[in-house]
Amino acid sequence: MKRSYVIKRILYAIFIFFVVLTLNFFIPRLGVRDPAERYYPPQGAMSEIEYEIIKQFTRAQYGFDVSTFQQYIRYIRGLARLDLGTSLRSGSPKVTALIGERLPWTLVLSVTTLIISLSIGLLFGTLAAWRRGRWQDTLLLNASTVSVALPAFFIALMLSFYLGFELELFPAYTNPNMVAQFDWSWEAIQVVLNNAALPIMSMAMGGIVGFSQSTRNSVIAVTNEDFVITARAKGLSHTTVLYKHILRNAMLPLATSIGMSISGLIGGAIIIEQVFNWQGMGTLFLEANSTNDYPLMMGIMLFLSAFAILANLITELLYVILDPRVTVGDKR
Amino acid sequence: MSTRNVLLQVARRGGSLLSLLKKLWGHPKGRLGLILVSLLVLVAVLAPVLAPYDPYDVTQRAEKGLRPSLEHPLGTTITTGQDILSMLIYGARVSLMIGIITGVILAFLGALMGVIAGYVGGFADNLIMRVVDILLVIPTLPLIIVLTNLLGRSYFVIVLVFVAFGWTGLARVIRSLVLVLKNSNYVKAAELAGASRWYIMTKHILPGTSHLIIMNTTLTCAGIMVAEAGLSFLGLGDPTAISWGKMLAEAQGGGALLFGAWWWILAPGAGIFLAVFSFMRIGIVMEEIFNPRMKASSSIYKIFKHLNNTYLDEVFQSMEDEEPDDSAEEPFSNAPAPEGGHD
Amino acid sequence: MTSAMLEVRNLKVAFPCPGGIIRAVEGIDLATKKGECVALVGESGCGKSVTALSIMRLLRTPPSVSRVDKLELAGRDLTHRTEREMERIRGKDMAMIFQDAMTALNPVMTVGKQIDEVYRRHTNLGKKEARERTVRALELVGVPEARSRADSFPHELSGGMRQRVLIALAFACIPKLIIADEPTTSLDVTIQAQVLDVLRTMQREHGVSALLITHDLSVVANMADTVYVMYSGKIVERAAMQDLFTDPLHPYTQGLLASVPRLSDDKQAFVQIPDTVPHPMRKPTGCYFHPRCSRTSGRCEEHMPRLEALENGRQVRCWHPLREERET
């Protein structure tokens, strides 16, 4: 029973991937009749005939010389080989290679932020739920409202200003040599941590508050359930009640929100990376944008979508494992 | 209370927009939110009147990088010498306009999708939910970046993407509510009476969702304003317009951090904060109004803090049986001396 | 007095809330002897469940406030125990069976583990031995294939099965007192009888005292030795089961008995007590039942009748109990 559910979800994920992939294919063709238009060099002093030849050459170079359908097939074939295309940069590096270079750096920020947000969030959320109505709880509620209203990039700017420029505790801009000089030595790692401190702080603030709030709501909802009274009526110690009964159930809906934050992890760091000039996927994407490097842009888009699909799928499957009630049928 | 009951409660809180406003006014936090929002709207509308200078007017530029003074309460920008306070006031226009316009469109679209999915069900429901799944997977920020590249930088593109992707949240929530409303008696009665689906959807189901829509829309507006700030920060909006996000980008790029012109950063940030905060306030208060159970905890705690023992003693004392009054009262015939009461 | 198991004297529970204060339980006395089954009967909203939770001291302050003159289990006082001490007592010396077994069981834990927990908490048994006892407990309450069933999750069992699990949970350590809060209300009628059977057998065989809380008089007739009738936070009648059914004294009791449809009835209409239970925040003056009572007088409106003790351990709280006519 469960197995068929798992298979269904995987097939569905593949289906969605196909739709997204198709969209990805067609988006760059928006707004122009001739999709190769964006790749043509400027006409300059060339005559019409010369320009026509150049255009044909460009089309062939970028694969626009075949029918759209064939291009689509080629695209899919490429994806099957994990080839996301070739960037327009000098040297024509593969998109996959570029992503591979920068992704780890984004992960440094995102994963650390996630871990920090989760652990502190769970702690504080449970505390706020336990002390419902008291100052810890009200503090959280106010912090939540404030945190949403203060965008992460604004916090980033303020931190960059005070901790970076004024107090000089951390570098306000990422050291441009950080990536090149990284050699897994302890000093290099320290440099990375030093530079990553402000970006992580900016992102973590919102994350902590967010997770605290979700945890708190979840724990309160569960604490009001009957089986918690049963557990207490059995005379179990209140730590047992808290961990085995309350938290074990409260974590379930959290799994979904964790999954969702994971998918937003990579794409969401774009602005923060920009503020600190951190050389990750976000800045890669912005660079691609400013140079109209469409293959790179769309390659990254597809990668991000695929990542989101995967994250969702894993979350759903995790839910199946954790919650014995989930068997067949969609939980809509 | 089960989810179903909660949703029904939300639907049942009848009353028009006016009564809603009255309720908000009566609530202390709600009042604050209303005042702030009204102020912001006023500032945005009356910008030309309120702003000491016209930031769009090149002739009104002053010396660059001035610190705050009487003439320029927030100083001038380092890059162009524009008066920051005026920019702040004009910036309200962009944020509020985009936030409110997008919010309203999303209200319609999301509600429509949600009602159709929930009420019509079947294939339409499936289709809509699949579309939702697909939209949720595509990263919105990169997409907006791509589209502004392809179609040109404008707030139109931004609003378009917001609308195209943002209806999913409201649709889902409305759909859940509609599923519950579908089974309520008055809807069933209307169905039996032969009313068309469209009629039922507009006359019966939609009104029941109105409060949820309003509440959700307010919060959505807040979220959109934050998102727009981020996009403007990245330079994706109209390059000629003045918006708070763009001010922040200019501040960073213009060396505000370097030269310690913290007011240039703080001002637009404060603007964003106020706008988002006030909308959220209203949204949260609305949630409390429609779903009073949420409020229970902290108010119970406050009650307990202020509970004094004499009041409790009185209450408990009143639960005691009255002393037997030997003279007039006779309990009833054949009763032995009363022992059962606790005196 | 020597065989007294549960003694509750003057229990009062209130819930302060924004609009006022909810008077849930207004000074009630309860007593159970060893091995006796006592029923607490009343409509929903009269404070029965609150009473049960108070006896187990499961009510939290906030949101409740309570006072009690005496709360003793087997002669030992419970009011001055710390929460830790109460944790040792609950599940071991006194246990509770809840109404809705679906929500009363942890959905992500197997039923076996949930019973194991009780053994491992209150005895020195290791994992294996605890599981043995659990299986035995399940067998005793009539769960077929107990060993494999123990590894099921609550949602995989039928309603009746789940209720049996709750019973097994409660009886696990053979407590001195079992409080059963509407143990059969959420079940089908056919299953009700089975579950009641189990409950009665377990209670009689192990000599466990029981406080049975219900609004269903047929359940009372099946199991109880003594019956307390509760109305809007107050005890209005107490009698041995037979006496109550054949010779009710309080008009409310009479109304309850009359409104139970019986196959042997020759009446044509449903009998209903008019109106509804008073709102716990806005109770009537005088006797709480007077607005619905057919025997009410001026006195009833002004003064709350006292709980008078009569022969045979009977008690009644009424200015005009049903016996009045017979005397005059």
Could you read off the pLDDT of C51-74 as tens digits, one per residue?
A: 999 999 998 877 888 889 999 998
Nearest to C319 among B332, B338, B339 (CB): B332
Q: How do residues B107-131 score in pLDDT, each as one tens digit?
A: 999 988 888 888 888 888 889 988 9
Nearest to A16 among B137, B223, B284 (CB): B137
Judged by CB atoms closer than 8 Å, whether chains meet at C58 and A232 is answered as yes
pLDDT-derived band of residue B336, with 50, 70 and 90 as boundaries? very low
Average pLDDT over residues B223-248: 88
pLDDT-derived band of residue C237, with 50, 70 and 90 as boundaries? very high
User: Does residue C270 have a pLDDT over 90?
Assistant: no
Nearest to C12 among B303, B319, B332 (CB): B319
Against chain A, the chains showing at least 3 CB pairs within 8 Å are: B, C
Average pLDDT over residues A233-237: 89
Per-residue pLDDT, A332:
36
Three-state SS for B196? coil
Q: Closest approach of chain A CAs to the CA of C17, in angstroms?
A: 14
Chain A partners within 8 Å of B266 (Cβ) = 158
Q: Closest approach of chain C CAs to the CA of A20, in angstroms?
A: 36
Query: Which amino acid is residue A229, in one-letter code?
Result: I
Per-residue pLDDT, A29:
80
Judged by CB atoms closer than 8 Å, whether chains meet at B145 and A267 is answered as no
**Tokens for A205?**
């603030």
User: Does residue B242 have a pLDDT over 80?
Assistant: yes
A residues 183..222 contacting C (CB < 8 A): none
Per-residue pLDDT, C134:
92
Interface mutation vs chain C, best among A1, A137, A230, most C CBs within 10 Å? A230
Query: Which amino acid is residue C15, in one-letter code?
Result: F
Interface mutation vs chain A, best among C106, C117, C182, C185, most A CBs within 10 Å? C106
User: Does residue B185 have a pLDDT over 50?
Assistant: yes
Chain A partners within 8 Å of B137 (Cβ) = 16, 20, 263, 305, 308-309, 312
pLDDT-derived band of residue C271, with 50, 70 and 90 as boundaries? low
Q: Which of A136, A108, A107 is nearest to A215 (CA)?
A: A136
Average pLDDT over residues B123-147: 88
User: Does residue B1 have a pLDDT over 50?
Assistant: no
Return the residue of B nearest to A16 by Cα. B134
Chain B partners within 8 Å of A202 (Cβ) = none
d(CA A51, CA C78): 97
User: Does residue C228 have a pLDDT over 90?
Assistant: yes
Average pLDDT over residues A54-58: 82
User: Does residue A35 have a pLDDT over 50?
Assistant: yes
Q: How do residues A260-304 score in pLDDT, each as one tens digit?
A: 787 777 777 888 998 888 988 899 999 998 888 888 988 999 999
Average pLDDT over residues A95-124: 90
User: Does residue A218 have a pLDDT over 50?
Assistant: yes
**Separation of CA B251 from chain center:** 29
Per-residue pLDDT, C324:
61
pLDDT-derived band of residue B332, with 50, 70 and 90 as boundaries? low
Alpha carbon separation from B142 to A94, A268, A284, C80 (Å, rounded) = 20, 9, 11, 64
Nearest to B342 among C10, C16, C18 (CB): C10
From the number of C-beta atoms within 10 Å of its C-beta (0-12, 13-18, 19+), residue B112 rates as middle
Judged by CB atoms closer than 8 Å, whether chains meet at A324 and C117 is answered as no
Across A94-103, A126-135, B11-20, least confident range: B11-20
Return the residue of C nearest to A320 by Cα. C108
Q: Is the ipTM of this complex over 0.90?
A: no
pLDDT-derived band of residue A329, with 50, 70 and 90 as boundaries? very low
User: Does residue C2 have a pLDDT over 70?
Assistant: no
Return the residue of B nearest to A220 by Cα. B297
Per-residue pLDDT, C40:
93
d(CA C96, CA A230): 8
Average pLDDT over residues C230-243: 91
Per-residue pLDDT, A163:
86
Judged by CB atoms closer than 8 Å, whether chains meet at A238 and C88 is answered as no
List CB contacts of B130: < 8 A, sequence separation 6 or more. none
Per-residue pLDDT, B337:
36
Please tell me if residue A229 touches chain C, with a CB cutoff of 8 Å.
yes
Average pLDDT over residues C205-223: 87
Tell me if A206 sits within 8 A of A159, measured CB to CB: no
Return the residue of A nearest to B131 by Cα. A16
Query: Which amino acid is residue C98, in one-letter code?
Result: F
Return the residue of C nearest to A233 by Cα. C90
Per-residue pLDDT, C227:
94
User: Does residue B157 have a pLDDT over 60?
Assistant: yes
pLDDT-derived band of residue A330, with 50, 70 and 90 as boundaries? very low
Chain C partners within 8 Å of A247 (Cβ) = none
Judged by CB atoms closer than 8 Å, whether chains meet at B150 and A27 is answered as yes
User: Does residue C179 have a pLDDT over 90?
Assistant: yes
DSSP B83: B
Per-residue pLDDT, C323:
74
Per-residue pLDDT, B334:
41
Average predicted confidence (pLDDT) for chain B: 80
Which neighbouring-strand residues pair with A150? none
Average predicted confidence (pLDDT) for chain A: 84
Please give the residue that has the higher pLDDT: either C21 or B11.
Answer: C21
Q: How do residues B283-319 score in pLDDT, each as one tens digit?
A: 888 877 777 655 556 667 777 777 777 888 888 888 8
User: Does residue A37 have a pLDDT over 80?
Assistant: no
Please give the residue that has the higher pLDDT: either A105 or A40.
Answer: A105
Question: Across chain C, where does the E strand assignment appear?
Answer: 4-17, 20-33, 37-41, 65-67, 70-73, 76-77, 94-97, 177-181, 209-214, 226-231, 234-240, 308-309, 315-316
Residue with tokens 């994706």: B236
Per-residue pLDDT, C38:
92
pLDDT-derived band of residue B102, with 50, 70 and 90 as boundaries? very high
d(CA C287, CA C319): 9
Tell me if A254 sits within 8 A of A218, measured CB to CB: yes
Judged by CB atoms closer than 8 Å, whether chains meet at C65 and B312 is answered as yes
Per-residue pLDDT, C8:
92
Three-state SS for C187? coil
Judged by CB atoms closer than 8 Å, whether chains meet at B319 and C27 is answered as yes
Three-state SS for A330? coil
Interface mutation vs chain B, best among C306, C312, C320, C322, most B CBs within 10 Å? C306
A residues 233..262 contacting C (CB < 8 A): 233-238, 240, 244-245, 248-249, 252
Letter string b/e over residues C251-281, b meaning 16 or more CB atoms within 10 A of that residue's CB: bbbbbbebeeeeeeeeeeeeeebeeebbebe
Tell me if B215 sits within 8 A of B13, measured CB to CB: no
Residue with tokens 């007592």: C89
The pTM assigned to this predicted structure is: 0.81
Judged by CB atoms closer than 8 Å, whether chains meet at B265 and A158 is answered as yes
Cβ neighbours, 10 Å, residue A60:
12
d(CA A126, CA A197): 26
Per-residue pLDDT, C328:
44
Chain C partners within 8 Å of B304 (Cβ) = 16, 61-63
Please tell me if residue A171 touches chain B, with a CB cutoff of 8 Å.
no
User: Does residue A52 have a pLDDT over 50?
Assistant: yes
Q: How many CB pairs under 8 A join A and B?
A: 145
Residue with tokens 């003045």: B242
C37-41 sheet: strands from edge to edge: C94-97, C177-181, C209-214, C37-41, C226-231, C234-240, C315-316, C308-309
Per-residue pLDDT, B137:
85
User: Does residue C154 have a pLDDT over 50?
Assistant: yes
pLDDT-derived band of residue C114, with 50, 70 and 90 as boundaries? very high
Alpha carbon separation from A220 to A129, A288, B183, C60 (Å, rounded) = 6, 46, 29, 15
